[in-house]
Amino acid sequence: MAKEKKKRGFLSKLGFKSKDDKLAQEAAEKAAQQQLVDAQMAARMAAINAAALKSAREQDESSAGISEEETARIEAEEKRAAEIQAAKDVARAKQLAEERERKAEQDRLDAEAEAKRIEDAKARAAEAERQAAQDAARKELEAKARAQEEARLKAEAQAELERIAKDDAAQAQALKAQQEAEAKARARAEAERAAEEARLEREAKAAAQKAEAERIEAERRAAEKLQETRLRNEAIEAEKRAEAAAHRAKIEAEEREKEEARLAEIRAKNPQPEIDPTAEGGFFTRITTGLSKSTNKMSDSVSAVFTKRKLDDEALEELEDILIASDLGTGPAMKVTAALSKDKFDKQITDMEVKIALADVISEILTPLEKPLRLTGAKPEIMLFVGVNGSGKTTTLGKIAKRYTDEGKKVMLCAGDTFRAAAVEQLTVWGERASAPVIAGKPGADAAGLVYDAIERAREDNVDILMIDTAGRLQNRTELMDELSKVVRVIKKQDETAPHHSILVLDATVGQNALMQTEAFQNTAGVTGIIMTKLDGTAKGGVLVALSDKYKLPIHAIGIGERIEDLENFSAPVFAAAISGVASAVLEG
């Protein structure tokens, strides 16, 4: 900066003007010229304004007849007004000139800044080029140095490799000699060890033979002693078992006599005709006849497919379709086809062989679930009956109540279906048949409260069995299932082990819908067993097999008619023979 000022002072003394001085002089000259123009413009504007005012005044005078004195006065006023307006115009012109001067100064400063920026950019570019040249030279030197270093290292590495190769050759030769010596030493040691092992083996064999002889002798003596002890203990145990068996036989005989006497007394009070299950109208015949609709549909289809036919993949697939269409379910159907294909595949097969295989599979599935209704010994024994509307729940409850009262049990019924007046009336009729009191409330009463009262009453009256009927509920009605949950909670508050039986009554005519019902009531009421009704009125009896294969719930009984004796304890072999068509063939034969 000082150098620049010194340079400018020197040029000024020589009569030269700097760039800034020239620009300042030009700006001053422009401002003076502008000022002269503005003054001339102001004078012209004042003259124009005065002329305009005079013209307007003359027009007004000619029209209004104004006097000369008035006219002179007005001209003087107009002149003053024109001078005032001219002064304002001059001031405005001066303001505009100042603004233009400021703009010109700003433009000059902007131009100087742009020139300075360009000079700086050129300087930076020159510096960058210089730096790039220096970097290129430095990199070239570094590359040469690296090349020299790499050449040196390569030479040293080659020399080291040659040295190592010589050392390795010498070591390999020494190692070979050492290995040969060691191999000879090992061979001698192996020969010596083999000789020692042979000697030790001979000695060990002799010792083992001696020890084996001693062991055999010791075992013989121990066996003789153990045999003597076992025979003595067996004699003692046999004597004890004989005494226990005699005592048990005596107790059983006494209990049997008491039970026979009790049953004889019951039969004397309630004489029942004897039923021969093998005779016409017996259980076997009744269940076979009752399941005829389910049997005939499936049996006819099987006979149509397997009349003098070889068992191939197509036949197995047709059989599987028939069984699934008969509501037996996919799992049981696949078990039947698997059992047949195992022994009969690609052989001639009759429809009876297919039916027998079907009966075997059904019996295998159902036999573990065959469980007649047994009392637990609780008092009162609480039985809860659940199911949808029309499943035969109330009728089934009444039949079981009649059976228990005939056996001498004290039974009480609770009409928990408070939503349907006909249900109370129906249960009352069954209560009269079974000689059992019925606890009922008003229509629409709280079912859970009624159940609570019934349990209290059963305890007071020393009742053996309390059987609770519930309102029929569709499994997809959440609010009704919630009411059933409330009933179950009330029962558990009275007795945490109850209900001792939660029995789901299913209508066989609903087919596969029974699976959904079972799942819903299992989740809500904790089902402990199943009774399936109306098997005589449907071709969908096979659903009991599908149901059992999926849920594995005990099956207490099945209903094959309206009469009390038509509610039978469930027998898996008989049901399997009936539903498969084997029973029909036996009866026809």
Q: Which amino acid is at 524?
A: T
Rounded to the nearest integer, the mean pLDDT of the chain is 79
- 561 alpha-carbon distance from chain centroid: 44
Please state the rounded mean pLDDT for residues 124-142. Answer: 86
Instruction: Quickly count: other Cβ atoms within 10 Å of residue 485's Cβ.
Output: 14
Is the pLDDT at 325 greater than 70? The verdict is yes
**pTM above threshold 0.85:** no
Q: Which of residues 552 and 40 earns the better pLDDT score? A: 552
Instruction: Quickly count: other Cβ atoms within 10 Å of residue 239's Cβ.
Output: 10
Q: Which of residues 529 and 422 earns the better pLDDT score? A: 529
pLDDT of 269-314, one tens digit each? 444 434 344 444 455 666 666 666 666 777 777 777 776 667 788 8
* 3-state secondary structure at position 14: coil
CATH class of segment(s) 372-570: alpha beta
Query: What is the C-alpha to C-alpha distance for residues 343 and 200, in angstroms, rounded to an integer?
Result: 60
Instruction: Give the confidence band of 541 by pLDDT, cuts at 50, 70, 90.
Output: confident
Domain ranges of the chain: 19-140, 292-364, 372-570
Topology match between the domains 292-364 and 372-570: no
CATH superfamily of 292-364: SRP54, nucleotide-binding domain (1.20.120.140)
